[in-house]
Protein backbone atom coordinates (compact mmCIF):
# COMPACT_ATOMS: atom_id res chain seq x y z
CA UNK A 1 0.00 0.00 0.00
CA UNK A 2 1.12 3.54 -0.65
CA UNK A 3 2.23 5.27 2.49
CA UNK A 4 4.20 8.30 3.64
CA UNK A 5 5.81 8.13 7.06
CA UNK A 6 7.13 11.05 9.04
CA UNK A 7 8.48 9.48 12.22
CA UNK A 8 8.85 12.68 14.24
CA UNK A 9 5.79 14.61 15.39
CA UNK A 10 7.92 17.35 16.88
CA UNK A 11 11.46 18.43 16.19
CA UNK A 12 13.13 21.16 18.22
CA UNK A 13 16.46 22.67 17.21
CA UNK A 14 18.38 25.78 18.13
CA UNK A 15 18.79 28.65 15.71
CA UNK A 16 21.80 28.08 13.50
CA UNK A 17 21.77 24.31 13.97
CA UNK A 18 21.25 21.92 11.05
CA UNK A 19 17.77 20.55 10.47
CA UNK A 20 16.67 17.25 8.98
CA UNK A 21 13.00 16.35 8.73
CA UNK A 22 12.62 12.70 7.88
CA UNK A 23 10.25 11.26 5.32
CA UNK A 24 10.01 7.68 4.16
CA UNK A 25 7.59 6.39 1.60
CA UNK A 26 6.18 3.14 0.38
CA UNK A 27 5.24 2.98 -3.27
CA UNK A 28 5.69 0.34 -5.92
CA UNK A 29 6.32 2.66 -8.86
CA UNK A 30 8.12 5.97 -9.40
CA UNK A 31 6.37 8.58 -7.28
CA UNK A 32 6.57 12.32 -7.30
CA UNK A 33 7.60 13.64 -3.89
CA UNK A 34 6.80 16.98 -2.33
CA UNK A 35 7.28 18.94 0.86
CA UNK A 36 4.49 21.26 1.98
CA UNK A 37 4.74 23.78 4.81
CA UNK A 38 2.15 25.45 7.01
CA UNK A 39 3.27 28.53 8.91
CA UNK A 40 1.22 29.75 11.84
CA UNK A 41 -2.14 31.14 10.67
CA UNK A 42 -1.26 30.62 7.02
CA UNK A 43 -2.52 28.13 4.54
CA UNK A 44 -0.67 24.98 3.61
CA UNK A 45 1.62 25.64 0.67
CA UNK A 46 4.16 23.89 -1.49
CA UNK A 47 7.75 24.23 -0.30
CA UNK A 48 9.53 22.15 -2.88
CA UNK A 49 9.15 19.15 -5.16
CA UNK A 50 11.82 16.61 -5.99
CA UNK A 51 11.39 16.88 -9.74
CA UNK A 52 12.53 20.52 -9.65
CA UNK A 53 15.71 19.79 -7.70
CA UNK A 54 15.48 23.27 -6.25
CA UNK A 55 16.46 24.91 -3.00
CA UNK A 56 13.73 26.99 -1.40
CA UNK A 57 14.42 29.16 1.66
CA UNK A 58 17.65 27.20 2.09
CA UNK A 59 15.86 23.85 2.22
CA UNK A 60 16.78 20.94 -0.02
CA UNK A 61 15.48 17.40 -0.31
CA UNK A 62 17.03 14.49 -2.14
CA UNK A 63 15.05 11.53 -3.31
CA UNK A 64 16.81 8.31 -2.30
CA UNK A 65 15.05 5.51 -4.13
CA UNK A 66 17.17 2.82 -2.48
CA UNK A 67 16.13 3.91 0.99
CA UNK A 68 12.73 5.21 -0.21
CA UNK A 69 13.37 8.44 1.60
CA UNK A 70 12.92 12.13 0.86
CA UNK A 71 14.36 13.90 3.86
CA UNK A 72 14.18 17.70 4.08
CA UNK A 73 17.38 19.42 5.12
CA UNK A 74 18.65 22.87 5.94
CA UNK A 75 22.18 23.57 7.15
CA UNK A 76 21.33 26.49 9.46
CA UNK A 77 17.85 26.77 10.94
CA UNK A 78 16.17 30.16 11.35
CA UNK A 79 13.40 31.09 13.77
CA UNK A 80 11.08 31.81 10.84
CA UNK A 81 11.40 28.17 9.78
CA UNK A 82 9.19 27.18 12.70
CA UNK A 83 6.14 25.59 11.09
CA UNK A 84 4.35 22.34 10.34
CA UNK A 85 5.95 20.35 7.53
CA UNK A 86 4.22 17.66 5.50
CA UNK A 87 5.84 15.23 3.14
CA UNK A 88 3.59 14.14 0.27
CA UNK A 89 3.62 11.59 -2.50
CA UNK A 90 1.78 11.63 -5.79
CA UNK A 91 1.58 8.35 -7.61
CA UNK A 92 -0.59 6.27 -9.84
CA UNK A 93 -2.86 3.79 -8.13
CA UNK A 94 -5.57 1.83 -9.94
CA UNK A 95 -5.40 4.11 -12.94
CA UNK A 96 -5.56 7.47 -11.19
CA UNK A 97 -3.07 9.62 -9.39
CA UNK A 98 -3.38 9.97 -5.65
CA UNK A 99 -1.88 12.51 -3.34
CA UNK A 100 -0.84 11.02 0.00
CA UNK A 101 0.37 13.13 2.89
CA UNK A 102 2.37 12.12 5.93
CA UNK A 103 1.14 13.01 9.39
CA UNK A 104 3.45 16.00 9.57
CA UNK A 105 6.36 17.17 11.69
CA UNK A 106 6.22 20.34 13.73
CA UNK A 107 9.55 22.13 13.62
CA UNK A 108 10.37 24.51 16.44
CA UNK A 109 13.47 26.62 16.07
CA UNK A 110 14.59 27.95 19.42
CA UNK A 111 16.39 31.24 19.86
Binding site for other proteins (CB under 8 A): 6, 32, 34, 36, 43-46, 49, 51, 86, 88, 90, 96-104
CB of 81 to other proteins, least distance (A): 19
Which is nearer to other proteins, 76 or 99 (by Cβ)?
99
Closest C-alpha to 17, from 50, 46, 49, 58: 58
Q: Which is nearer to other proteins, 104 or 109 (CB)?
A: 104
**Nearer of residues 74 and 104 to other proteins, judged by Cβ:** 104
Distance CA 39, CA 9 (A): 16
d(CA 32, CA 66): 15
Task: Answer yes or no: are the C-beta atoms of 51 and 32 closer than 8 Å.
Answer: yes
Amino acid sequence: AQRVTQPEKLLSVFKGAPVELKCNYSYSGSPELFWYVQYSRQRLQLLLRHISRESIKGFTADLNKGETSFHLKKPFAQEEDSAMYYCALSGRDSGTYKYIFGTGTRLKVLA
